[in-house]
């Protein structure tokens, strides 16, 4: 297509904005809907929900944008290197003077590209250990409550509920609705798993949907779904598609069932089997208890007939007499100990009393002091100092 440029454009002086506006009008009005094939490069998904990427071939490239709302209908997450087929319109971003494709629809160029994306993600998660058996949590044999992550309008939910109610009517069922197809399905599945974990009243989770093509099941091949399953504290069993369908979710889950119905059969015990088991258990245990009662009854009878139980009064008297002797020895030991202690105390008191200076004063002795010190030797006595003499009945002072 050739674009005709009027001479009027050549003679006019434009501002940058005016020129970009003119180019925008010319380009956007000259091209109708475009269908383009190419390889994705520099793919970025912003928090706004919009997608920005470059579409390239061997020799050239063009910028592309796909707005939130339109990309909701894309069933897979685009990745760099994936070949796609898009439909859109040429547009101009005036602020930068760039032209780009405003993408309306996007499809993988072939099933082969989806399979490549599947194998690429499978290898990545396997290398990280998300498929390791050591992380698999056991599925409870008799769950009290079962969480179900699937679409509330899907046939899979009806099959699962029907199976669970038939096999184990007592179990509590908790549905966390999620889309199971479309671009937002993987996000909703991850959020539903997170919600059931936060509820903390769920023993096991069934993640399921009915059969479909590779594109239909792609939400279960997304990385966000896989990581949500791996992070779940509650064991998860998958029942996605048919027996031949394998998804990334199946590899990460704690257990894979070939179909949604099979998942329900694995999770819920058959109530008839339980009733039969309880009956057999009761019968076997009643017989065991009866045999034990007979055994212990005979044992007690044999013990009562033994010599030890034949003379219980004699044994009791012997023990009583031994107790009396022991108590007497204890009393005698305590008496001797206290008497010896009292004697030592009395002797100590007599020594203290005999050492009392008052007793010596009473016998005619006296105490001589000078300068508040007791004079013990004649050489310590000074005739010039004031002297105090203490008698039994008082003290006198003599000036030097």
Q: Which range of residues forms the domain containing residue 220? A: 116-269
Q: Are residues 189 and 131 in the same domain?
A: yes
Q: Are residues 90 and 127 in the same domain?
A: no
In sequence order, the β-bridge partners of residue 63 are: 54, 100
Choosing from 74, 92, 109, the residue where a domain stops is 109
Identify the segments of the chain with pLDDT beneath 70.
Answer: 1-11, 28, 110-111, 277, 279, 281-284, 304-317, 351-357, 400
Q: Are residues 134 and 216 in the same domain?
A: yes
Q: To 5 degrees, how large is the angle CA 88–CA 91–CA 95?
A: 145
pLDDT attached to residue 354: 67
Q: Are residues 125 and 77 in the same domain?
A: no
Check which CATH number belongs to the domain holding 230 and give it. 3.40.50.261
Instruction: Name the strand (E) or helix (H) holding 93.
Output: strand 83-93
Q: Are residues 15 and 65 in the same domain?
A: yes
Q: Are residues 156 and 85 in the same domain?
A: no
Number of domains in the chain: 3
Check which CATH number belongs to the domain holding 15 and give it. 2.40.50.140
The tokens of 58 are what?
């061997």
Count of positions (residues) in the chain: 400
Q: Are residues 100 and 234 in the same domain?
A: no
Burial of residue 286 (CB within 10 Å: 0-12, 13-18, 19+) is: exposed
Instruction: Name the strand (E) or helix (H) holding 59.
Output: none
pLDDT attached to residue 286: 72
Helix, coil or strand: residue 98: strand
Other C-beta atoms closer than 10 Å to the C-beta of 296 total 10
pLDDT attached to residue 1: 46
Q: Are residues 73 and 147 in the same domain?
A: no
Q: Are residues 165 and 206 in the same domain?
A: yes
Chain Cα centroid distance, residue 312: 61
Q: Are residues 98 and 166 in the same domain?
A: no
Q: Is the pTM of this model over 0.85?
A: no
In sequence order, the β-bridge partners of residue 107 are: 85
pLDDT attached to residue 16: 72
Choosing from 68, 91, 109, the residue where a domain stops is 109
Q: Are residues 372 and 265 in the same domain?
A: no
Q: Are residues 125 and 51 in the same domain?
A: no
């Amino acid at each position: 297509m050739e674009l005709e440029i009027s001479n009027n454009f050549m003679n006019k002086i434009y501002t940058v904005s005016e020129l970009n506006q003119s180019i925008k009008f010319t380009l956007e009005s000259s091209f109708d809907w475009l269908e383009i094939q190419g390889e994705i490069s520099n793919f970025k998904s912003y928090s706004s929900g919009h997608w920005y990427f470059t579409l390239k071939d061997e020799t050239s490239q063009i910028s592309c944008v796909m707005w939130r709302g339109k990309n909701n209908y894309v069933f897979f997450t685009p990745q760099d290197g994936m070949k796609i087929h898009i439909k859109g319109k040429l547009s101009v971003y005036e602020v930068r003077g760039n032209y780009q494709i405003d993408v309306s629809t996007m499809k993988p160029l072939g099933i082969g590209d989806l399979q490549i994306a599947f194998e690429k993600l499978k290898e990545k998660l396997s290398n990280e250990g998300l498929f390791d058996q050591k992380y698999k949590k056991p599925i409870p044999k008799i769950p009290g409550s079962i969480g179900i992550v699937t679409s509330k309008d899907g046939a899979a939910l009806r099959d699962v509920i029907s199976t669970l109610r038939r096999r184990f009517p007592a179990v509590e069922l908790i549905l966390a609705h999620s889309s199971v197809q479309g671009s937002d399905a993987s996000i909703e599945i991850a959020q539903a798993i997170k919600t059931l974990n936060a509820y903390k009243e769920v023993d096991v989770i069934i993640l399921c949907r009915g059969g479909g093509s590779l594109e239909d099941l792609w939400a279960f091949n997304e990385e966000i779904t896989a990581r949500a399953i791996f992070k779940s504290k509650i064991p998860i069993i998958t029942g996605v598609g048919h027996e031949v369908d394998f998804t990334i979710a199946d590899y990460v889950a704690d257990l894979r069932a070939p179909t949604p119905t099979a998942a329900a059969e694995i999770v819920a015990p058959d109530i008839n089997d339980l009733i039969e088991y309880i009956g057999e258990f009761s019968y076997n245990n009643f017989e065991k208890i009866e045999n034990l009662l007979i055994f212990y009854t005979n044992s007690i009878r044999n013990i009562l007939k033994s010599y030890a139980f034949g003379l219980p009064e004699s044994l009791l008297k012997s023990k009583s007499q031994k107790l009396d002797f022991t108590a007497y020895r204890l009393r005698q030991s305590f008496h001797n100990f206290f008497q010896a202690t009292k004697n030592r105390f009395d002797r100590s008191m007599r020594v203290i009393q005999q050492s009392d200076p008052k007793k010596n004063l009473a016998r005619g002795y006296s105490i001589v002091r000078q300068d508040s010190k007791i004079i013990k030797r004649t050489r310590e006595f000074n005739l010039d100092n004031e002297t105090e003499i203490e008698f039994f009945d008082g003290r006198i002072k003599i000036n030097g």
